[in-house]
Structure 1
Amino acid sequence: MSGALVEGFTVTQRRYVPYSHAHYGGNLVDGAYGLGMFGDVATEMMIWTDGDEGLFAGYSAVEFLAPIQAGDVVEATGTIVRIGNRSREIAFEARVVCRANADRGPSAADVLDPPIPVTRAHGTVVVPQTVV
């Protein structure tokens, strides 16, 4: 199903960050983790809007605001902010919505209210030219 191509169209995905993805001390995950989520959000968005996965052309801005840790639940949202003939500019934000809390026990975790913004970016996706 496609046809939702309007500025303001939004897609959100959530993902649990497994401990096997920890790459640094303190169970930190590399900053590219959020960018990988943005790619998945953009892919889903292009399927909804254009009926095609599209290709990520690049980022015009990326901000790493806070660390992502193993045991987090990360929510990534993309919103279309500009529509070109074949390009779609998307504003992204990733937030930690749940975080492990080892102080309360080995499997304890907390829902964060408010969530912690961890990554923001602006990117452009290109879709194939429509054949009429």
Structure 2
Amino acid sequence: MTDGAADPRLGLTVLHRRYVPYSHAHYAGNLVDGAYALGLFGDVATEVCIRTDGDEGLFAGYAEVRFQAPIRAGDVLEVAATVVRVGSRSRTCEFECRVVCRGRPERGESAAEVLDPPLVAVTAVGTVVVPPAGPAVPAGGGPW
């Protein structure tokens, strides 16, 4: 493990936002299954790996997942990954999925509102792995 105080990757946070389409609702009340958030965690972890190591990396596993509030079709989600540990090939991240906007069908078919504060729906701690460090790739991607 690298010295956390000296490693610039430590504390890196990546954010994604996504609208949840109604086609993803699986349950009464337009509920979306919890795996939807886990898929988004994989997407944001991929960007973390690209930014820290120039590679998409692979998800190794979760140490903890907590489903704290429902996700519904029509929600706008904000998903964050923050690097909290840097190993030689592993990166441990804390993930949070927040509902930042939610549909309000009781006020009209297309009514919605911004949630302030956002509603924390899912949190997790997970680890990704990246290939061993290789030769540096020139800025711009390569010789082509």
Q: What's the TM-score once normalised by structure 1's chain length?
A: 0.95
Q: Cα RMSD (Å) of the superposition? A: 1.1
In 1, Cα distance between equivalents of 2:92 and 2:114: 31
- Name the SS of the counterpart of 1:23 in structure 2: strand
Give the letter for the 2:119 counterpart. Answer: I
Q: Which residue of 2 aligns with 1:46?
A: 49
The equivalent residue for 1:123 is 126
SS of the equivalent of 1:38 reads: helix
Specify the SS of the correspondent of 1:34.
Answer: helix
Equivalence map 1:1-132=2 (5 Å) = 5-132=8-135
Q: Aligned with 1:26: secondary structure?
A: helix
1:130 Cα offset (Å): 1.1
Q: Cα distance, 1:74 vs. partner? A: 0.6
Task: State the shift of 1:5 in Å.
Answer: 4.8
Superposed displacement of residue 53, structure 1 = 0.1
C-alpha distance in 2 between matches for 1:45 and 1:11: 6
Amino acid at match of 1:109: A
In the TM superposition, structure 1's runs of 4+ consecutive aligned residues that sit over 2 Å from their partners are none
- Looking at structure 2, the residues matched to 131 and 77 of structure 1 have their Cα atoms a distance apart, in angstroms, of 28
Equivalent pairs counted in the alignment come to 129
Q: Deviations over 1:72-105 (max 9, x none)?
A: 0011000000000000000000000000001211
Q: What is the SS of the residue equivalent to 2:107?
A: coil
Paired residue secondary structure (2:26):
coil
Alpha-carbon offset, residue 131 of structure 1: 2.4
| SS of the residue 2:52 aligns to | helix
TM-score (structure 2 length as normaliser):
0.87
**Does the 8 Å CA contact 1:5/1:50 hold for their aligned counterparts?**
no
> Does structure 2 retain, via aligned residues, the 8 Å contact 1:78–1:91?
yes
1:50/1:5 CA distance change after superposition, 3 Å: farther
Task: Give the number of the structure whose alpha-carbon radius of gyration is greater.
Answer: 2
For 2:54 and 2:134, the matched residues in 1 are separated by: 13
